[in-house]
Amino acid sequence: MTAAVLAVQGAFAEHEKILAEQGISCLELRKKSDVEKSFDALILPGGESTVQGKLLRELDMFDLLKERIEGGTKVLATCAGLILLAERIENDCRVHFATIPVCVRRNAYGRQLGSFYTEEQFGQLGKIPMTFIRAPYIESVESGVEILAQVRGNIVAARYKNQTAVSFHPELNGDLRLYEWWLNG
């Protein structure tokens, strides 16, 4: 299996390290020709969603990636990646891929000082570590979206068809269960 990791900005190296530990081959997506290569899964990392969206368009990667996502490529989106996938963003007029019918709130927990760590139930995996850094949360979901986790009454993880999106950073905690579940699901 080969997993592509969007590597134009954000925390992509941490995801690559975890995938390598699981014997998964990684492909960094930095330019259009990278997106044209063969891969089985895609990670959209945390970082700055506005910058990532802008770079995806400037590097002519946006349409090809959207086609891959809509075509069924397995996707894991973390933090900013969730914002890239959201159909609506409550506090921002920009939308990006709009492939998950959810509404998100950017920087929902405040600035950097509002960052926090917790352990909460994630689907059938039990309690997993969750690190939130200037994180969004999902304000609402449409039909067909499965809610996987909530923290403080807010939705922080959801799955829709081939896409799993979380508002936290699983790559920072050393717990591989979420990745194993995603890769094998």
**Active-site residues: which are they?**
79, 169, 171
Burial 107-136 (b: 16+ CB within 10 A, else e): ebbeeeeeeeeeebebbeeeebbbbbbbbb
The Cα-based distances of 56 to 17, 22, 160 in angstroms read 23, 28, 22
Please choose, from the candidates 96, 119, 111, the residue with its C-alpha nearest in 3D space to the C-alpha of residue 168: 119
